[in-house]
Structure 1
Amino acid sequence: MPTAITPPRAPAPKTLPMPQVNTPEQKRKIICFSGHKANMSQDFDGTIFMQDTGHILFDAHGCGSKRREMLDEQIKTGERSFRDVSEEMWGSLKVPFDDGFEVMEKTLEIDRDFQSFHNWCLANNVPFNVISAGLKPILRKVLDTFLGEEASAHIDIVANDAEIKDDGSEWKPIWRHDTELGHDKALSITEARSEAELACEDGTVPLIVFIGDGVSDLAAAREADVLFARRGLRLEEYCIEHEIKYYPFDSFADIQRQLEQIRAEDTAKTAGKGLPALFNPRANLWRRVSSQQAVPRFAAMTPSREEKMFLWPEAFSELKTPGFERSELGASVVPPAQA
């Protein structure tokens, strides 16, 4: 009589872990960009500072206020490009850097609430960046002086570089982009957004905030998710005229209060209370997969089987052919409309 063989015990059903989603402690990243004027008369009032650093230098040590106003008018009429006029303005300076900075230090006035706002950014891990058509060495020196080098070091400056001779006989801009503007602020914002998205390990899309006051800020402002425009100045007027959504502000204290409210609302959404697609880390992951630019990075960090099941549950029925595993990310697999 054949010997009875006891069949092996069926394995216990495995409980698959759900992919991690945002909790109240995992707030979506907020990144702030603030405009800064360098030599545009129509944007004379500043954002962080109430005066224009370029104007102070040109009027005191360069072409003078009368010639500067003529050059600004050439930009406004389209007679000459911003880059062309800027090169003439910076080239008119004949003063050593430190001597030129003395007049700026005496003239510049910082927004009364900016230092407090910057401390809030540091405490809440909110990166703050200055984006400008001006020269990075000047902006760094100004921030170091008014904030202190330790606090200033936490602010990234996205601007043009410069070659300045020790005797001050030549000030030459090194343009960030080969365009008529010299610095394409919109492109810089787009690049920063892409880098931040790739750096977010939880897959969320960072919230880009832009703070400005003049029409020259408009290109960068269009790339932001949230726009703040200083009340009563040209950027606000433009937003009203063209029905662009924005938050008005009188000082950086207004911006801080609004961002605190935005963070609170965003936290509630990412905690699962009416989570829209924009905040959905898995929806954002799908956008990366479907983007040709994102394919190389995705190939290096392919999601686990459990994550795939969360993304495309209809593709994982109980009965699967052995070969499906190899093609489950192929073109035939269509993800849900809303992850």
Structure 2
Amino acid sequence: MTLLHNWQTAPTDDHPLVRLGRLLQNAGYQFTTISPPSHRRVNAREHHATAGDLRGVFGWNRPFEAALVGTEMLQLMDSAGILRVDGTLYRSGLRVSTLGGELYFHSAYPTHDVDSVFFGPDTYRYEQVIDSALAAGLPVARAVDIGSGAGPGAIKVARAHPLADVWAVDVNPAALALTALNAQLARLDNIQLAHSDLLTAVAGQFDLIVANPPFMVDDDQRTYCHGGGALGEGLSHAIVDSAIERLAPGGRLVLYTCVAIIDGADPFCQQAGARLDAAGMQWQYRELDPDVFGGELGDDIHRNTDRIAAIALVATRSKF
């Protein structure tokens, strides 16, 4: 277990993972995390059996020799509880990715555990959707990231609106712990955490709700990928309903997820759009990528699915 098991205690600058993160930042560390299938293929190459640099250690999550990271990093990893023995070598118990100038700790590869905290290509798309929404110049005094994961949504909003009260909520304590760590690395002090199923543990209205919910039906019901519903859309619908209930006048929902397209139709768009219309909200919906996660189409639950599309939904409540 790492020292991050208690999310209610914010990490300070002397926390070993904060110190490790600072060392990586000072070293100019950069790593873009790819999908698990791509990650597996790259690591399977013979010349990638072990790490040759810090990206190999913390990005590709390969076994490494102690001398590669040096005594200080090795001791910090050990103190934080993320140093794993792998035969005669070591392996990191967390990965580290970079996005938008920020550094993010997240779960090790592969993400098999029920409480894994995922970071990958969808995270980068999610950030782009938030960027587009923030560019519209919406005033934000109070915001929330539903299902914060490693914290990229909350951190993006808190960075853009340093005077705003930004909440990061998640049902996974491990995710909240990593959000707290990554917010500390970003030197942000306007993020609050809540262990919450949707918005049940936080009160009041919000000017901005952002979310990147899971969208699969996972047999193991891992928090980061199980969306519920018939085809993984259940949580996305619940977030839309929460936004209808909790957005302040003029407030906005920014939702990034993936949806099943069935016989040329988008049931999620049709159903969510009908509820938004009934609530008198304006909304925009667009496909960002028409064909993602094609491997899921082999599952029996997707026997009638044409394709899985990445989408962005932006819904705004009237100011009056």
Same fold (TM over 0.5): no
Structure 2 length-normalised TM: 0.30
Structure 1 length-normalised TM: 0.28
Higher helix share: 1
Higher strand share: 2
